[in-house]
Structure 1
Amino acid sequence: MKNNLRVLLLAAGPGLLAPAGAALAQAPASRPAVSGQSAPLGDMALSLQQAVDYAIKNKSSLLATRLGEQTARARVGEIKSAGLPQVNVAANLADNFKLQKSLVDFGAFAGGSSATQLRPTDIAAAQGGQTVNLSTVVLPSEPTPPQAIAFGLQWAGNTSASVSQLLFDGSYLIGLRAAKVYEQLAKKQTQQAEIDVVEQVSKAYYSTLVARERLQLLARNVQRLDTILYQTNQTFKAGFAEKLDVQRLQVQRNNLVVEQQKAARLTDLSVALLKFQMGLPQDQTVQLTDSLGAAVVDAGALRQRLGVASPTTGGGVSGLAGVPNAPAPATGNTDAQNRQDQQTALSGARTGQLAAAFNYNNRIEFSTLETQQALAGLDLANRRAGAYPRLLATAAYGFTGSANTAGELFAFRGPDSRAANGFPNQNWFGFGNVGLSLQIPVFDGFRRKFQVQQARIAQQTIERGFETLRQSIDLQDAQSRTTLINALDVLDNQKANLELADEVARVSRIKFKEGVGSNLEVVTAETSLREAQTNYYAALYDVLVAKVDRDKATGELYNQAKQ
C-alpha cells in the first residue's frame, strides 16, 4: 500500500503549487475541503478509531478467524464429555434362516454300553393306561457317532442399555489442561489477526487523508494558476508581455488539470482500498472526520522516545533534554544468576539484562509461541500418560428373546405367560450386570516410546524457536526505529525545502508582477515548488507509515487501537 501511495504522490506531484497546509505538531485550523462539505444522505462518518473498530467487528477474514475460537471451545467441550457417563442403547433383530448346527455325542449321556429299549407296543400300552416295564438292551460294540443338532430358533432379538463411567485416565486429565491452553492459543491467533487489520486500516486511512489533502491543494493551485494566466494574458493584450509567456502558463495549466484528474481517480482508489481493509461494501460512501494535521505525530516527543536529536537543531522540534543512557549491566554475574537466566530463557521468558532493553511479551507472536510451548509440554505428558492404567465402571441391562416366527417373537411373552396346556411359554428373558473394567497397557511394540520421542523433539524445536523469534523481534525493533528516524529527518529536510521553495516562488511572482522579473523565472520557481510539495507529502506519509510499523514492532499498536 505504501508503494501505491508513493506512486500516487509522484503522479500528482507536478501539479502541486501551494504551500503545505500541515506540519508535524501542528493542526490546521480547518479540515480538508471534502470534510467541510455537507455529507450526502447515507454517508458514514469515520474517524480512524471508528474505522478500526468497524474493521475488527466486520472484516471477513477476522470473522473466519473467530470461528477458530468457537472450534476451540467446542474442542474443550468434546474433551470434557469423555469424563461424563457414557450411555448406549442397542437393539438387534435376526432371522436365522439357516441355523448353525453343532455335533453332540449322545452316547455320552447313556451312562455305559447299555440303554433302555422303547418299542411301539410299549407306547401303545402306555397310551391305553397300562403299566409298561421297559427292558434294558445291550448297545452294539460299535459306538454311535456324534449327531448334528441345531440350537436356537429361527427368529431372535435382543435389546440392552449400557452405562460406563471413567474413573481414572491419565490422558484425560492432561487433555483437560491442554484443552484450556488450546483455547488460549485460538484467542491469541485472533488477536494477531486483529493487529494485522489495525495496521492495514491505519495505513489505508492515512493514505486517504494524504490523498485528499493533496487533492484539495491541487484545486487551490488550479485557481491560482488561472489568476496568473489571466493577469499575464491581460498584460500581453496591453503589449507589455510576450505571447510566449502566455503559452508557457497555458501549458502549465493544462498539465496541472490533467494531474488533478489523475489525483482524483487515485484518491477514489485509496478510499476503495480503505473500504476493502475495513470490510465495508464498496457502494457505501464514507466521510473521513479526522484531519491530516490531527493524524500526524508530535515529532519532538517521538524523537525523545526514540532517544535521538533533530539533525538540524540537535534537540528535536520541541527541544529535547539530554538523551538518557541505559544503565550499564553488572560485570560480575554469579553462577546462580547464570543458572537463573538459563532457566528463565528455557521457560520462554527474558533474562534480567535483556528484559531491561525490550519486553518481548508485548509482542503477540512471543506470547503465542509460549502457548505453543505449553501445548507441546502437555502433549509430551499425554504420551507418557499412555502407560498408566485406565479404570472404568460399567453396567448393563437388557432382554433377549427367540421364536420360530416373527409374529411369535414380537409377542413379548414374559415369565407369567402360559400355553394352552398350562406349561410356561416365555420367549423374552432379562439380563443385567455391573462391574469394573481395568485396562493395563503392557507392551505395544515400542509405539509409545517413539511417540514420546517425537513429542520431546517437537518441544525442543519450539524452545529453539524462542531464540529465533527474539532475534527477529530485535531486528524488527532496530529496523522500525531506524526507518522512523530516517523518515523524521527526511520530513524535516523536506519541510525546510518547501518553505524555501514557497518563498522563492512568492518573490518570483512579485518580481514578474512589478515587471522586473521574467516569466521563465516564475515557471522555474513554480516547478521547484511543485517538486518540493510532492516530496513533502511523500515524506509525511512515510512518517505516518513508519510510526505504525514502529508501534507494531514494539507491541503498542493493538493497545492503542483498544483505547
Structure 2
Amino acid sequence: MKNNLRVLLLAAGPGLLAPVGSALAQTPAARPAIAGQSAAVGNMPLSLQQAVDYAIKNKSSLLATRLGEQTARARVGEIRAAGLPQVSVAANVADNFKLQKSLVSFPLSQTVLTQESLQNANSGQEAVLETRQLAVPPQPFAFGLRHAGNTSASVSQLLFDGSYLIGLRAAKVYEELAKKQTQQAEIDVVEQVSKAYYSTLVARERLQLLARNVQRLDTILYQTNQTFKAGFAEKLDVQRLQVQRNNLVVEQQKAERLTELSVALLKFQMGLPQDQAVQLTDSLGAAVVDAGALRQRLGVASFATGGGVTGLGSVPTTPAPATSNADAQNRQDQQTALSGARPGQLAATFNYNNRIEFSTLETQQALAGLDLANRRAGAYPRLVATAAYGFTGSANSWGNLFAFRGPDSRAANGFPNQNWFGFGNVGLSLQIPVFDGFRRKYQVQQARIQQQTIERGFETLRQSIDLQDAQSRTTLINALDVLDNQKANLELAAEVARVSRVKFKEGVGSNLEVVTAETSLREAQTNYYAALYDVLVAKVDRDKATGELYNQAKK
C-alpha cells in the first residue's frame, strides 16, 4: 500500500510529488449519480479523523465483515436453541385404496361324535366327545379401513448432553473471534485511509509550492526580459528562463491532473462516492509529527547530532570529552538505532496482546481447546425427555372420517360407532455410545493436532511481531534522519537561490547561476516533501506495529 501511494507521489518524475492542493477546493464536473449512491451535495469538509470515522462506518469491505459478525451471533442463537424445548405438531390423512393384508395363523378344531360315543349316550351312559385339530393354512386379513387420519403434538427437552454444554462455551468464543476479525479489518482501513490522507496533504502543500515557484520565476523572467530590452542582458538569458518556466508549468499541469487521482484514491479508501467533492480541513503543519517526541519514544537521540532532536545544524565539530560510561551508552544507543532493536526498558513493556493478530490467535487457541473437549464429550450419554399426545381415526369414506365421532357416539342400532381415538405417552430417551469403530478416537487426535499447531504458531507470530516492530522502528528512525537532512538541504538551497537572485539583480551574477540555483531549490523541495511523507507513513506503520493505531483512531 505504501508503495502504491509513493507511486502517486512520484508519478510526475523526480521533480514532483503527486499533488493534491488548491484543486481540492474545486467541485468536479457533475456526473450522473451511480445506482445505489446518493448524489453529491456540495463540498464535504474532511479531517483525518472524519475520514477514518466515515471509512469505518461506510467502507464496503468492512460492511461485509460485519455481516460475518452478525452471522456469528446468529450461529450462537442456533446453538442455544438446541437446549430449549422442541415442539412439533403433525397431521396427515391417507386413502388406503388397497389395504395391506397380513397372513394370520390361528388353530381351528372340530368336535367328532363317534359310534361308540353314540351307543353310550343311547344306553344312558356318559359319552365323551372327541376334539380334532384341523390343518388350516395361514389366512390373509386386512386390518383397518380405507380412509385413515391422525394428528399429534410432541415435545422433547434435552436434559443432558456434554457436547451441547461445550458448544455453548464455544459459541461465545466464536462470536468473540468474529469481533476481532472485524477489528482487524478496521485497523487495515485506518492504515489505508491515514496514508492516503497524508499523501493528499503532502501533495497539496507541494502543489501550492509549485504555484509560488511559477510566480517567482515569472517575476525573474519579466525582470530579465526588461533588462534584455534595455540592452544589459542577452537573449540567451531570457530563453534559458523561458525553457525553465515552460518545464515548471508542465509539471504544475501534471500535478493538477494527479491531484484528482490522489483524491480519488482517498475516496476509494474511505468508501466515499467518487462524485462527492471533498475539502481537506487538516493542514500539513498539524499532521507533521513531533520529531523530538518520536525520538524520545524510540529511545534514541538525533542520528545526525548525537545529542538532540533539532536535526542538522552547522558543520559538525569534535565532540567534547566525555566519561567512559557516557561513551559506552552513546555507542549502545547508536547501535540500537542502527539495528532497529528495542531498548531493554521498552522491550520489557511491550505487550503482544496490543496486536490484534496475537489476540485473534489466542481466541483461535481457545476454540481449538473447546473443539478437543467437544470431541471427547462425544463419549458421554445423552438424555432427552419426550412427550406426545394425539388422535387417530379411520372410516370407509371421507365423510365418515371427518365426522370426528367420540366415545359417546352411537349408531342407529345403539352400538358405539366411535371413529377417532386419543393416545398419549411420556418417556425418557437415553443414548449411551458404546463403540463407533474408533471414529471418535481419530477425531480427538485431529483436534489435538490442530491445537498443537496453533500453539506452535504463537512463537512464529511473536517473532514476526518482533521483526515488524524492529523494521518499523528502524524505518521511522531513518526517515527522521532523512527528514532532518532534507530540511537542512532545503534551507541551504533556498538561501543559495535567494543570493543568486540578488547577485543577478545587482548585475554581479549570471543568469545560468540563477537557473541552476532554482533547479536545485525545486529538487530540494521535492526531496523534503518526499521525506516528510515517508516520516508520516513510517509513523503509521510504527503505530500499527505497536498496536496503537486502532486506539488512536478511536479517540
User: What residue is the counterpart of 1:227 in the other structure?
Assistant: 219
Contact 2:395-2:419 within 8 A present in 1 as well: yes
CA 1:244/1:479 → structure 2, altered by over 3 Å: closer, same or farther?
same
Query: Structure 1 CA distance, aligned partners of 2:409 and 2:110?
Result: 42
CA 1:66/1:233 → structure 2, altered by over 3 Å: closer, same or farther?
same
Contact 1:13-1:534 within 8 A present in 2 as well: no
How do 1:307-318 and structure 2 match up within 5 A? 307-318=299-310
Q: How many positions carry a matched residue from both structures?
A: 502
User: What residue is the counterpart of 1:526 in the other structure?
Assistant: 518
CA deviation profile, 1:293-337 (whole Å, cap 9, x unmatched): 110100011011111111222123259x988999xxxxxxxxxxx
User: What residue is the counterpart of 1:470 in the other structure?
Assistant: 462
CA RMSD of aligned residues (A): 2.7
Query: Structure 2 CA distance, aligned partners of 1:557 and 1:94?
Result: 69
Matching residue's letter, 1:392: V
CA deviation profile, 1:237-284 (whole Å, cap 9, x unmatched): 001111111111111111111100101111111111111111111111
User: What residue is the counterpart of 2:206 in the other structure?
Assistant: 214
User: What residue is the counterpart of 2:492 in the other structure?
Assistant: 500
Q: Quote the sequence identity (%).
A: 88
Matching residue's letter, 1:313: T
Query: Structure 1 CA distance, aligned partners of 2:41 and 2:273?
Result: 16
The alignment status of 1:358 with 2:358, answered yes or no, reads no
CA deviation profile, 1:472-507 (whole Å, cap 9, x unmatched): 001100010011111111111111111111111111
Superposed displacement of residue 114, structure 1: 2.8
Corresponding residue SS for 1:424:
coil
The alignment status of 1:392 with 2:384, answered yes or no, reads yes
User: What residue is the counterpart of 2:53 in the other structure?
Assistant: 53
Superposed displacement of residue 413, structure 1: 0.9
Contact 1:32-1:291 within 8 A present in 2 as well: no
CA 1:224/1:4 → structure 2, altered by over 3 Å: closer, same or farther?
farther
CA deviation profile, 1:340-395 (whole Å, cap 9, x unmatched): xxxxxxxxxxxx99972521010000000000000000000001001000111110
Contact 1:13-1:530 within 8 A present in 2 as well: no
Corresponding residue SS for 1:386:
helix
Contact 2:21-2:259 within 8 A present in 1 as well: no
CA 1:453/1:141 → structure 2, altered by over 3 Å: closer, same or farther?
closer
Contact 1:69-1:187 within 8 A present in 2 as well: yes
Matching residue's letter, 1:57: K
Query: Structure 1 CA distance, aligned partners of 2:14 and 2:547?
Result: 39
The alignment status of 1:558 with 2:550, answered yes or no, reads yes
CA deviation profile, 1:146-179 (whole Å, cap 9, x unmatched): 2111111111111100001111111111111101
Query: Structure 2 CA distance, aligned partners of 1:449 and 1:294?
Result: 63
Q: 1:292 aligns with which of 284, 293, 313?
A: 284
Q: 2:367 aligns with which of 371, 375, 381?
A: 375
User: What residue is the counterpart of 2:93 in the other structure?
Assistant: 93
Query: Structure 2 CA distance, aligned partners of 1:139 and 1:101?
Result: 31
Matching residue's letter, 2:488: A
Contact 2:110-2:134 within 8 A present in 1 as well: no
Query: Structure 1 CA distance, aligned partners of 2:72 and 2:11?
Result: 49
User: What residue is the counterpart of 1:114 in the other structure?
Assistant: 111
Query: Structure 1 CA distance, aligned partners of 2:347 and 2:225?
Result: 70
The alignment status of 1:198 with 2:190, answered yes or no, reads yes
The alignment status of 1:177 with 2:174, answered yes or no, reads no
Q: 1:459 aligns with which of 434, 451, 454?
A: 451
Matching residue's letter, 1:179: A
Query: Structure 2 CA distance, aligned partners of 1:354 and 1:316?
Result: 20
CA 1:455/1:9 → structure 2, altered by over 3 Å: closer, same or farther?
closer
User: What residue is the counterpart of 1:428 in the other structure?
Assistant: 420
Contact 2:228-2:235 within 8 A present in 1 as well: yes
Query: If the length of structure 1 is used for normalisation, what is the TM-score?
Result: 0.84
Contact 1:8-1:263 within 8 A present in 2 as well: no
CA 1:260/1:392 → structure 2, altered by over 3 Å: closer, same or farther?
same
User: What residue is the counterpart of 1:237 in the other structure?
Assistant: 229
CA deviation profile, 1:120-171 (whole Å, cap 9, x unmatched): xxxxxxxxxxxxxxxx998887612221111111111111000011111111
CA 1:375/1:355 → structure 2, altered by over 3 Å: closer, same or farther?
farther
Corresponding residue SS for 1:83:
coil
